[in-house]
Chain A
Amino acid sequence: MFKLSLNNLNDLFKAAAEGSALYIPADDGAGQARFTRWCDGMEMSKALKTVKSAKEFFFPQTESLVDFKMKGKEIEIIDPRTETEDFVVFGVRACDARSFSILDKVFLADPVDTYYKSRREHGTIVTMACSRPEETCFCTAFGVDPTAPEGDAVCYMTEDELFIEAKTEKGTAFVEKVKAVLEDGDASAVEAQKAAVKDILPKLPLANLSTDAFGGDKLMELFDSPKWAELSASCLGCGTCTFVCPTCQCYDIRDFETGHGVKRFRCWDSCMFSDFTKMAHGNPRLTQLERFRQRFMHKLVYFPANNDGEFGCVGCGRCLSKCPISMNIVKVMKTLEGESK
């Protein structure tokens, strides 16, 4: 375990940004946090979470997949990818760190998504243990420990010091790289903070949220529940929940005609949208009820059915904070938990 005074945080960032891109949570123009490419002097946000999750480092909102160039009857196929640069994402919370393993199950399963894989290989994740969980947090319901995040290296921030510990080969390389600004630290301050946060966790309003009523084997009783009607009644059909969610992974692939060729790109999509998964006859989910149900069934039933029981939610609470009508996975779970028993 190494440490550094928070007064010297800029030195740490400077060392980390040497020869690779460094992203930290920083406050934007509206005072909310987002992962931003660090430049000298940039301060780390004090917010618990960024508005958008960290998933876009591996699964960006839009990306070019392939270009087609037409010359007479010839079609040239061009791979638009350039070499991915090494990058470090600093300050990822435990919930977001867990989301990467969920996304891996989708993108790294056969056939491997090489666009995603390349970014995963070039990215180093430095996580930050939580010291001030909020009322919207429920990561513990999904087995995440906010005091011990996953990641290549893990940081703990106390009042005046930052502690850092490498967990993987990449993490060791990261710590080696910034070692000049670090000093040896002993774990007692970290242990004290972990204990303090563990005292808060049971006091969180959603501490007792249970996943018992959900899972891959609860398909029909949940699907057929009459309660989806009231749950979805005031859904606006926007994509806020989907786009701030660390685990939502659906995308659309479209062609953009440039006049002398085609750029094929993919972009985040939302099952809440009316033009999602269009087939020859249109969207198979004709009503907002069906679209709304799809989103939650995916996280609570379909994903665990296909992934050894693992749920497609990490309890980050972004949808609780951001849904314009304050409808979210917690309300869905609480309303439906009686249905499958």
Chain B
Amino acid sequence: MQGKMIARAKELLQNGTVNRVIGWKAGDFAYDITPAVFSSAEELDAGFVYNDFCGANFSKYLVKESRKEGKILVFLKPCDTYSFNQLTKEHRIIRDNIYVVGVPCDGKTDGETLKLKGITGITGIKTEGDSFVVDTLYGEKTIAKADALPERCLSCKSKKHVAYDELLGEDGEVCESNRFDMVEKLEAMSSEERFAFWRGELSRCIRCNACRNVCPACTCERCVFDNDNSGIAQKAAADSFEENMFHIIRAFHVAGRCTDCGECSRVCPQNIPLHLLNRKFIKDINEFYGEFQAGEDTETRAPLNIFDTEDVEPSIVYEKGGN
């Protein structure tokens, strides 16, 4: 696929369809891949890569990139296209300045996920069938891909591209995802257990803001938490609950717009399962207002943006969550 992508990117640069390409750039190791803009065939040959470690979702970069001169080529994986649609719907990206090539995805992992499985000192990674064969300073290790994938890919919601100008490879289908399993487990807990669960997870937060900064649904020009005049722009927590509230409030803020791309959990240096907060909202929205997937298209109005007589009564919400 990487070869096909480079060849197509060169053609589109050559024929003037686009003047640059946003893609993944190889690093020093097999897994440390950086989003980068390529402007020439030489740059593409030198560094463009597409492999099992290209997890970064480029949709948010297009907020800025689509405002620059000329058209940009972007490669989007199926789940990235949901973010792309959502940003198009919110008028945050200028669709006309973007050429989207959809590329297939079998799940993306990263170095940190491998390290958590006890594979350290990684000097090289080969993909062999359904396994990664990892060369390390301390010998060769083999791990099944399914064991090396992060949760967001193990519960992939869709292998179908919902936005593209052209596709490379076969398009997939929306998946039968088990993505609400953990949410159901949390719902089944007593409120004390659930509180303890989230206190445990969120207490690790170091407030680096990586989750917010990577989130395609967080595109405010200036976040209230960065704004001195907001009165809440503290860089330190006033008490031990403040970081907890930050994440809960952020999940509220993106509710109905979050496509469940999972970037928040991917970038968290403390491995906090932030996506579970978003999935809870998605599940609730599905139950209260009917099935809804943010970013599925660019027209449907979000359930939280409309009011009609069929809407759930607040008392029902209370009964459900008020145990």
- A residues contacting B by CB (< 8 A) are 28-32, 34, 48, 51-52, 61-62, 132-136, 200, 203-206, 230, 233-234, 236-240, 242-244, 252, 254, 256, 265-270, 273-275, 278, 320-322, 324-328, 330-331, 334
Using Cβ atoms and an 8 Å threshold, which residues of chain B touch A328?
A: 32
CB of A193 to closest CB in B, whole Å: 14
Check B29–A205 contact: CB distance below 8 A.
yes
Q: Complex formed: what's the CA distance from A200 to B233 in Å?
A: 47
A143 to B147, CA, bound (A): 38
B43 to chain A, nearest CB (A): 9
Contact string against A for B residues 275-311, beta-carbon threshold 8 Å, 1 for contact and 0 otherwise = 0000000000000000000000000000000000000
Contact A252 B235 (CB under 8 A): yes
Q: Which chain A residue lies CB-closest to B273?
A: A30
Q: Are B236 and A267 in contact (CB under 8 A)?
A: yes
The contact sample of 22 A-B pairs, CB cut-off 8 A, is: A30-B271, A31-B116, A32-B270, A62-B237, A132-B137, A133-B121, A134-B120, A135-B29, A204-B137, A233-B35, A234-B61, A238-B210, A243-B208, A254-B236, A266-B236, A270-B208, A273-B235, A275-B235, A324-B266, A325-B34, A326-B31, A326-B32
The answer to whether A331 touches B34 (Cβ under 8 A) is yes
- Are A48 and B120 in contact, CB atoms less than 8 angstroms apart? yes
Q: Is the CB of B235 within 8 A of A135?
A: no
Which of under 10, 10 to 19, 20 to 34, or 35 or more describes the interface residues of B? 35 or more
Inter-chain contact A240/B235, CB cutoff 8 Å: no
Please give me the residue from chain B that is nearest to A270 by CB atom: B208
* Most chain B Cβ neighbours within 10 Å, of A200, A238, A278: A238
**CB contact under 8 A between A135 and B123, given known A236-B214, A269-B235, A326-B32:** yes
Given contacts A239-B208, A325-B56, contact A275 B228 (CB under 8 A): yes
> Which residues from chain B contact A62 at a C-beta distance below 8 Å?
236-237
CA distance A334 to B26 in the complex (A): 14
Q: Does B213 contact A (CB under 8 A)?
A: yes
A contact face: mostly helix, strand, loop, or mixed? loop
Binds A, one of B6-14, B99-107, B167-175, B198-206: B198-206
Nearest CB in chain B: distance from A128 CB, A: 16
Whether B210 pairs with A240 at a CB distance below 8 angstroms is: yes
Rounded to whole angstroms, the CA-CA distance of A321 and B213 in the bound complex is 18
Cβ–Cβ < 8 Å partners of A320 in chain B: 28, 32
Q: Assuming A135-B29, A265-B236, A331-B34, what are 7 further A-B pairs, CB within 8 angstroms?
A: A30-B204, A32-B271, A238-B213, A239-B209, A274-B222, A324-B213, A326-B34
**Is B269 touching A244 in the complex (CB atoms < 8 A)?**
yes
* Alpha-carbon distance A49/B222, docked complex (angstroms): 35
- Interface pair B235/A254, CB less than 8 Å apart: yes
Q: For residue B66, give the distance in angstroms from its CB to the closest CB of chain A.
A: 15
Closest chain-B Cβ to A327's Cβ sits at a distance in Å of 5
Q: Contacts A32-B116, A134-B120, A205-B28: A51 and B270 contacting too (C-beta < 8 A)?
A: yes
Give every chain B residue within 8 A of A203 (Cβ-Cβ). 137
Asked if residues B34 and A234 are in contact (CB atoms below 8 Å), the reply is yes
For the complex formed, measure the closest distance between the CB of B36 and the CB atoms of chain A, giving whole angstroms: 6
CA–CA, A254 to B222, complex, Å? Answer: 20
Q: A132-B138, A321-B111 are in contact. Are A236 and B120 (CB under 8 A)?
A: no
| Bound form: Cα–Cα A273–B235 in Å | 10
Interface of B is mostly: loop
B94 contacts the other chain (CB 8 A): no
The CA-CA distance from A201 to B272 in the complex, in Å, is: 33
Docked complex: B123-140 residues within 8 A CB-CB of A: 123, 137-138
CA distance A185 to B59 in the complex (A): 59
A270 to B208, CA, bound (A): 9
* Distance between B46 CB and nearest chain A CB, rounded to angstroms: 12
Closest 7 CB pairs of A and B: A324-B267, A267-B236, A30-B271, A62-B236, A326-B32, A238-B210, A234-B35
Q: Is B5 an interface residue (CB 8 A)?
A: no
Residues of A within 8 A of B204 (CB): 28-30, 34
**A268 and B266 in contact (CB under 8 A), knowing A29-B200, A200-B137, A238-B210?**
no
B121–A132 touching, CB < 8 Å: yes
Chain B hits for A204, CB < 8 A: 137
Of the candidates A51, A134, A136, A326, which one forms a contact with B269 in the assembled complex, judged by CB atoms under 8 Å apart?
A: A51
Q: Please, how many angstroms separate the alpha-carbon atoms of A274 and B233 in the complex?
A: 12
B159 to A: closest C-beta gap in Å: 24
- Expressed in whole angstroms, the minimum distance between the Cβ of A341 and any Cβ of chain B is 21
Closest chain B residue, CB of each to CB of A64: B236
Q: Is the CB of B36 within 8 A of A234?
A: yes
A238 with B28: in contact, given A135-B137, A254-B235, A273-B226 (CB under 8 Å)? Answer: no
Say which residue of B35, B112, B137, B227 sits within 8 Å of A321 (CB atoms). B112
**With A and B bound together, what is the CA distance between A200 and B139 in angstroms?**
12
Q: Which of B28, B61, B207 has the most CB of A within 10 A?
A: B28
**CB atoms of B32 and A322 under 8 A apart:** no
Mask: chain B, 131-156; 1 = CB below 8 Å from A; 0 = not: 00000011000000000000000000
In the complex, B188 has a CB within 8 A of chain A: no
Which residues 59-101 in B have Cβ within 8 Å of A in the complex? 61
Are B235 and A325 in contact (CB-based, < 8 A)? Answer: no
- Contacts A61-B206, A274-B226 given; indicate if A324 touches B235 (C-beta within 8 A): no
A236 touches B210 (CB 8 A): yes
A132-B120, A324-B266 in contact; A237/B206 too (CB < 8 A)?
no
User: Contact at A331–B27, with CB atoms within 8 Å?
Assistant: yes
Q: How many Å from the CB of A39 to the closest CB on chain B?
A: 16
A144 CA / B211 CA spacing, docked (Å): 33
